[in-house]
Amino acid sequence: MEYIFSDKIKNMKPSAIREIFKSLADPTVISLAAGNPSAQSFPVDQLALLSRDIFENMSTQALQYSVTEGYTPLRQAVAARMKEKFGIGRDFDATLITTGGQQCLDLSAKVLCNEGDVIVSEQPSFIGALNSFRSYNTRIVGVDRKEDGLDLEALENVFKTEKNVRMLYLIPTFHNPLGTTLPLENRKAIYALCKQYGVMIYEDNPYGELRFDGEDIPTLKSMDEEGIVIYSSSFSKILSAGMRIGYVIAPEAVMQKMVVAKQVTDVHTNIFFQILCHRYMTECDLDAHIESIRRLYGHKCGLMLDTLDKTMPKAVSYTRPQGGLFVWATLPESVDMNAFVKKAIENKVAVVPGTAFNCDESAPSSSFRLNYSTPTDEQIVKGIEILSATAKAML
Amino acid sequence: MEYIFSDKIKNMKPSAIREIFKSLADPTVISLAAGNPSAQSFPVDQLALLSRDIFENMSTQALQYSVTEGYTPLRQAVAARMKEKFGIGRDFDATLITTGGQQCLDLSAKVLCNEGDVIVSEQPSFIGALNSFRSYNTRIVGVDRKEDGLDLEALENVFKTEKNVRMLYLIPTFHNPLGTTLPLENRKAIYALCKQYGVMIYEDNPYGELRFDGEDIPTLKSMDEEGIVIYSSSFSKILSAGMRIGYVIAPEAVMQKMVVAKQVTDVHTNIFFQILCHRYMTECDLDAHIESIRRLYGHKCGLMLDTLDKTMPKAVSYTRPQGGLFVWATLPESVDMNAFVKKAIENKVAVVPGTAFNCDESAPSSSFRLNYSTPTDEQIVKGIEILSATAKAML
């Protein structure tokens, strides 16, 4: 049989990151390529205790079909926490529980975009988001994210010249892959531009609570008087990534369509773990737990930056994150990035090539992404030393 | 802000069944409208014990990110069980774990269909499938499912006259909503026609193992020498619906595209419950557990049919299922179905109007769906007695 695939899927390939993971089967390779939270960030003992109680006292509810919107007590707890801590959510907003943050991306693109419609994205950006948008045959237009924020002139130019711009996709805080954060003034200006041109903002904030340095910056959603921001986050980086629980806070009218779309996608998210999340939030000290993850990642990021400062040739630049999981390093023009990444793997260190995060898949990149949440301290030091030696040899 | 939604979503409404569920907030209403498995079908004690052990001995793996294809031991156990018990799966097939059976529908439509492409379906059929197909702006063409099987002449006529027919969607065994099963000769003829016209078959089989009467009939997938059948089922009706674990067995080439699509949809399915499923399959007696569900539903279906036989006016016909969850009843032409369903709710019994299962949403129906897995024995008897009295009063 000759299979015929849809136009939106037929040219899609497995993500480059995923292919790198497969090359990690070799246990002697140090991986700085992951995007995983540290296993130390899972509060195993408390989740185990709560799970026992759910099986004992709420088993029918936890194993039976549930409603698409999500477990009501969890939705309420999430909405209350976001409101109280971050000023997120107004009367016109609603909360939906999703199967990980990834599903928020999928539902938003499905609900807002026809094939050929434009989604504007920071360049570079999260490959999982870009691929989700590609899977609806949308056109992704990249706007450079510079040192001091998103290029506003370029953004307005896109809004002026492109037709059917449906969404601006942003990771304002502890960006993946950059590790950096948009300044407040830049956020305000972006919000004003999107309001002026009638473009929805998708604020993806999976790492926002993982700040280990500096002061919190208000989210775009906290400024959202007009109902133009879809805000998404998840429990993947603070409780468990494998349980796949995310959430979205968005204007009710948009949410209604997302609920309809989710219903035909997976009916609802695993209800046992929704209940578990709610009970953890209300019976354990989530804030103290997050604080411990912050300290852990602050230490690991510091170790990576220290080792980079000590060993990496000056010609290689890198970001200095105040939170999140990633450092973004950039090679001088004289070094070919793909050759460097290949050489690094030969030297037993895996990183993600910057091309994976390009809005335009055919564009070049001289950067690569480093992760510090997954490797051990020893692996961080040894991995960076090897990368530094690799870079030196290629300069 | 005036929100602009995609063409595929803007006209979609929440499912009619879901709206009926909301009217069930009244606890005095007997619901024969559900599609839920009985809570007695959840092996709570064994799942609780295994969960404890997973938290104790496999917690990192069970809470961390995992691969899109699904937990390898579960994929292998599913493939081996399907092969051994039902002759399903050939060398060219692969297995994917999905977030419930619903996600198999979503991924198949996404991978195979452009907007405007045709999906052929039995008329009537499962609303969750039809709505999933609608959410990709495909065109659903219904072919009548008659007493002795699918109307083959009508099916071939559709294949001959319609352009871009991408898939034939079937629930061959214990159909939702009909409760009936396609005979072997009809299955063979359908397979031959699809082979001849190069149309993929989607065999949806969530109820296939729930036979309480008669003999198993080979699945279409077991006949699939040519790699034209996508076979889907789930653990929702045999272990837990709320955990959202389904699976699909399909030719490798199709599966590769489904994996790419799943990756950008939800990355992977809840890994804790994938491990739990695998451990239940390999450490407990799944076959004996399924046998107990069969006995339970055989008893409940028998009770419903007995009560129908005793009390329902002869002018009302109904199917006699040999398995699954549903009975399909049809009113004589003199009774308006919508008026009947409305009157039944006034009399405190909820059923699902047949229009909900129409391929053509604007077409009429004189039928309604009854469920026997969720209500208690007492509710089944009382509910049917009330429906019978309601029908008598309207004849």
Tell me, what's the ipTM? 0.97
- Residues 6 or more apart whose CB falls under 8 angstroms from that of B150 comprise B122, B143, B144, B170, B182, B186, B190
Residue A242 has its nearest CB partner, among B65, B134, B242, at: B65
- Report CB contact under 8 Å: B270, A268: no
Query: Across the A/B interface, how many CB contacts are shorter than 8 Å?
Result: 247
Please give the Cα distance from B274 to B258 (Å, whole number).
18
pLDDT at B27: 86
Report cis status (omega within 30 of 0) of the bond before A177. Answer: yes
Q: Residue A302 — very low, low, confident or very high, per pLDDT cuts 50/70/90?
A: very high
Mean pLDDT for A175-192 is 98
Closest chain B C-alpha to A201 CA, distance in angstroms: 12
Chain A residues inside the 8 Å CB shell of B60: 39, 42
Which helix (H) or strand (E) element contains residue A106? helix A100-112
> What pLDDT score was predicted for residue B11?
87
Rounded to a whole number of angstroms, the distance from the CA of B392 to the nearest CA of chain A is: 34
pLDDT tens profile B76-128: 999 999 999 999 999 999 999 999 999 999 999 999 999 999 999 999 999 99
Cα–Cα distance for residue pair B131/B145, rounded to 1 Å: 19
Q: What residues of A are in contact with residue B140 (Cβ under 8 Å)?
A: none
Nearest to A355 by CA among A10, A12, A15, A9: A15
For A107, the closest chain B residue by CA position comes to B265
Say how many CA atoms lie within 13 Å of A80 toward its Cβ. Answer: 9
Q: Which residue of B has its CA nearest to A227?
A: B1
How far B384 CA sits from the closest chain A CA (Å)? 24
A271 to B111: CB separation less than 8 angstroms, yes or no: no
Query: Is B322's pLDDT higher than 80?
Result: yes
- Report residue B326: phi and psi, to 5°: -130, 145
Residues on chain B touching A253 (C-beta within 8 angstroms): 3
| Per-residue tokens: B188 | 């063979």
CA A296 vs. chain centroid, Å, equals 19
CA A159 to chain B, closest CA, distance in angstroms equals 16
pLDDT at B13: 77
Query: Which of A4, A105, A227 shows the shortest C-beta gap to B1?
Result: A227
Q: What would the pLDDT profile of B136-152 be if each residue is shown by its tens digit?
A: 999 999 999 998 999 99
What H or E segment, with its residue span, contains residue A96? strand A93-98
The pair of structure tokens assigned to B256 is: 């590769």
Q: Which of A21, A37, A266 sits opposite B103 (nearest CB)?
A: A266
pLDDT of residue B1: 84
Q: What is the pLDDT of residue B15?
A: 64
> What is the model's pLDDT at position A11?
87
Cβ contacts of residue A363 below 8 Å, gap of 6+?
A355
Question: Which among B215, B204, B217, B152 is positioned nearest to B175, based on CA atoms?
Answer: B204
Q: Chain B: nearest CA to A330, how far in angstroms?
A: 27
Q: Which of A2, A22, A270, A277 to mutate to test the interface with B (most CBs of B within 10 A)?
A: A270
Contact between A51 and B55 using a beta-carbon 8 Å cutoff? yes
User: What's the pLDDT score for residue A179?
Assistant: 97
Q: Which of B288, B292, B269, B268 lies closest to B280, judged by CA? A: B288
Q: What is the pTM of this model?
A: 0.97
Alpha helices in chain B (DSSP H): 7-10, 16-23, 44-57, 59-63, 72-86, 100-112, 127-134, 152-161, 184-197, 252-266, 271-283, 286-311, 337-346, 377-394
DSSP class of residue A316?
Answer: S
Instruction: Considering only the beta carbons, identify the residue of A9, A264, A273 that sits closest to B128.
Output: A264
Quickly tell me which residue has 């070094």 as its tokens.
Answer: A335
Asked if residue B214 lies in contact with residue B174, where contact means CB atoms within 8 angstroms, the answer is no
pLDDT at A27: 86
Instruction: Measure the CA–CA gap between A1 and B235, rounded to whole angstroms.
Output: 30
Minimum Cα–Cα distance from A12: chain B residue? B260
pLDDT surpassing 80 at residue A218: yes
Asked if A15's CB is within 8 angstroms of B242's CB, the reply is no
Residues of chain A found within 8 Å of residue B254, distances taken between Cβ atoms: 3
Of B12, B112, B269, the CB nearest to A6: B112
Mean pLDDT across B167-186? 98
Determine whether the interchain pair B3/A251 forms a contact, defined as Cβ–Cβ distance below 8 Å. yes
Omega before A124 within 30 of 0, i.e. cis: yes
Rounded Cα distance between B203 and B181, Å, is 13
pLDDT at B252: 97
Task: Look at A45 and B35; give whichever has higher pLDDT.
Answer: A45
Question: What pLDDT score does B16 carry?
Answer: 63
Residue A60 CB: number of other CB atoms within 10 A? 12
Contact B40, B238 (CB under 8 A): no
pLDDT score recorded for residue B22:
65
Taking the C-alpha atoms of residue B97 and residue A63, their distance in angstroms, rounded to an integer, is 18
pLDDT at residue number A24: 73
Query: Which residues face A146 on adjacent strands?
Result: A149
> At residue B61, does pLDDT exceed 80?
yes
State mean pLDDT over A167-190. Answer: 98
Furthest-apart CA atoms within chain A: distance in Å: 64
Put simply, the answer to whether A266 touches B102 (Cβ < 8 Å) is yes
Q: Which of B5, B14, B244 sits opposite A111 (nearest CB)?
A: B5
CB contact under 8 A, B267 and A102: yes
Mark yes or no for CB contact A267/B36 under 8 Å. Answer: no
Residue A208 tokens read as 């926002």
Q: Under an 8 A CB cutoff, do B112 and A198 touch?
A: no
Residue A19 pLDDT grade (very low, low, confident, very high; cuts 50, 70, 90):
low
Collapsing DSSP to helix, strand or coil, B243 comes out as coil
Which residues from chain A sit within 8 angstroms of residue B112, using beta carbons?
4-6
Minimal Cα–Cα distance from A217 to chain B, Å? Answer: 25
Residues from chain A contacting residue B134 (CB–CB below 8 Å) = 264
Contacts of B35 in chain A (CB under 8 A): 65
Phi, psi of A228 (to 5 degrees): -115, 0
Average the pLDDT over B312-316 and give the result.
98
Do B238 and B289 form a contact (C-beta atoms < 8 A)?
yes
- pLDDT value of residue B340: 96
Preferred mutation among A228, A267, A280 to probe B, highest tally of B CBs within 10 A = A267
Render pLDDT for A308-331 as a digit per residue (tens, 0 to 9): 999 999 999 999 999 999 999 999
